[in-house]
Amino acid sequence: MTKITNVNIHPSWKEALTDEFQQPYFAAIKQSLLQEKQAGNVVYPPGKLIFNAFDATPFDEVKVVILGQDPYHGPGQAMGLSFSVPRNVGTPPSLENMYKELKTDLDLEMPPHGDLTAWAEQGVFLLNASLTVRARQANSHQKIGWQKFTDAVIRTLSNKREGLVFLLWGGFAKKKASLIDKTKHHVLTSGHPSPLSANRGYWFGNKHFSKTNELLNAQGKEPIDWQIK
Enzyme catalytic residues: 70
d(CA 15, CA 169): 29
DSSP letter assigned to residue 64: E
A 10 A CB-CB count for 187 gives 16
Let me know: does 44 contact 133? Beta carbons within 8 Å: yes
- Rounded to whole angstroms, the Cα distance separating 41 from 39 reads 6
Distance, in Å, from the CA atom of 96 to the CA atom of 129, rounded to the nearest integer, reads: 21
